[in-house]
Structure 1
């Protein structure tokens, strides 16, 4: 009888034991530590930035909160602590690659080159690379930057596009780099640079939150086709990616996504109650209805 009872108890426990043993990679790390590590940006408005209290907030941060909830449910955890780590354009990929952070929640372009080092979940925004400058300088097209001093943020695709356009068009631009978007915009604001090359929506938010929004304008010519933003996750971790992909797909296809978008792009946002007034594009609506992690701009 004792042996039969032992066999019965063992049989009941085996599914749980097998489940625990099957966990690998990021899910195993999160399960064992009870913590999910999220990389946040400090000035990527409205995707990931700090409020007046220094708390990370934004459109991408809300998406990552939904992902964290899905991971918590998947692992059957009663509690899941969230650890935030501030990242920059230069540090975000290394910190994902070395396992310091599990998710990078911001405004990171998903492209084939980056997919050699990291993976991405479904696209949460589409943006094109443009430049912002002071209206008084009358700079609207890329060729207008000839002989000018132009800044971009270090470690971004925008910097690469600027350098390539400078060489291809023989513009003789003095290219400068900044550690983050806020620092780059400040260089334009203080006339240390004539223009700042970055994703159009980020430029719009920086100009809108400046001391004199009316003094700035975005270029009418872009350096690129609309490119996808994605939440960055570790490479070669299919189990974790499956959970994140399912969580984002469920969110994007639900009515909640319209409310979430309106909250950050069509409503006053903290800390200055600015309204970016950027309606959802037809391409982004399509991407939400049919979630994809494709890095190819042509897919959208």
Structure 2
């Protein structure tokens, strides 16, 4: 893209006005694909509560709302108020291949920004920082990872958590019997049915699963964190115009206070489908992220 055209696109993003639709001959990458298709395809999750999940056939959630804000901005930049929005369900295992194969254009769910993944895809400014811990039955007496030695433990396939858990198992010689399942609900079901003593995963996702239980008091989220990571939206690598649009939306949401208000809706108030409250207040690390948006991996 020529400098003048690139500058015009960036100016359109900053102006955030329908009157600043980009000309088709100025577009490249994902924005051109979206323009030519007349639609944007979002990769969505079915059960990443409260980030992106299905409720009565419709996708909702904290990060899904961010994705819709980005869609609104793309409509303005392209001057396409009637842009169609398509959704394709993705999993932890197939979300990267589906992006690389052009089956989706953007994914804002519960995808961890890692240095390893940067070789394949691009990440937006982070929208969530968290610790990797575990959930177990309260009656099990498990309080930290050393208690998992020799026991069956579950995590979700294709996640950074699986890598961290297997690394811990090897380095500490814990001899855990690790199983990686297709999705988060399947993993938690293994703990519920006592086929595994613990489910190792991102702490906010564990709070979402616990809150959805009929008897959440039966479970405890515990363990010294085995890692600290950040979620971000994912799009195709080397696409500067798309990055400018996506990061512009996220940074404005965070520095304006909109992101904190959105956070409170999904993490400190009752949410669908059962009106449960995660009781997961904004951390000091998240406040710092909102004050200084950035796209750095934490691993």
Same-fold status (TM-score > 0.5): yes
- Counterpart-to-counterpart distance in 2, 1:27 and 1:19: 11
Partner in structure 2 of residue 243 of structure 1: 245
Query: Paired residues, what number?
Result: 280
Partner in structure 2 of residue 78 of structure 1: 81
Please list every run of 5 or more consecutive structure 1 residues that lacks an aligned counterpart in the other structure: 1-15
After TM superposition, the runs of 4+ consecutive aligned structure 1 residues lying more than 2 A away are none
- Counterpart-to-counterpart distance in 2, 1:82 and 1:72: 10
Partner in structure 1 of residue 187 of structure 2: 184
Partner in structure 2 of residue 105 of structure 1: 108
- Counterpart-to-counterpart distance in 1, 2:153 and 2:218: 17
The farther-off stretch of 39-48 and 256-265 is 256-265
Counterpart pick for 2:156 among 153, 158, 161: 153
Partner in structure 1 of residue 91 of structure 2: 88
Is 2:170 the partner of 1:167? Answer: yes
Partner in structure 2 of residue 253 of structure 1: 255
Q: Secondary structure at the match of 1:129?
A: strand
Instruction: State the Cα distance separating 1:239 from its structure 2 match.
Output: 1.1
The farther-off stretch of 256-265 and 82-91 is 256-265
Q: Secondary structure at the match of 2:220?
A: strand
Counterpart pick for 2:207 among 196, 200, 204: 204
Q: Secondary structure at the match of 2:126?
A: coil
Instruction: State the Cα distance separating 1:277 from its structure 2 match.
Output: 1.1
TM-score, normalization: structure 2? 0.91
Instruction: State the Cα distance separating 1:222 from its structure 2 match.
Output: 1.3
1:214-229 correspondence to structure 2 within 5 Å: 214-224=217-227, 226-229=228-231
- Counterpart-to-counterpart distance in 1, 2:133 and 2:158: 16
Counterpart pick for 1:33 among 31, 34, 37: 37
Q: Secondary structure at the match of 2:266?
A: helix
- Counterpart-to-counterpart distance in 1, 2:298 and 2:161: 16
Partner in structure 2 of residue 123 of structure 1: 126
Counterpart pick for 1:232 among 223, 231, 234: 234
Partner in structure 1 of residue 25 of structure 2: 21
Instruction: State the Cα distance separating 1:247 from its structure 2 match.
Output: 1.4
- Counterpart-to-counterpart distance in 2, 1:78 and 1:136: 54
Please list every run of 5 or more consecutive structure 2 residues that lacks an aligned counterpart in the other structure: 1-19
Counterpart pick for 1:44 among 38, 45, 48: 48
TM-score, normalization: structure 1? 0.91
- Counterpart-to-counterpart distance in 2, 1:296 and 1:146: 27
The farther-off stretch of 93-102 and 141-150 is 93-102
Q: Secondary structure at the match of 1:120?
A: strand
Q: Secondary structure at the match of 1:46?
A: coil
Q: Secondary structure at the match of 2:256?
A: coil
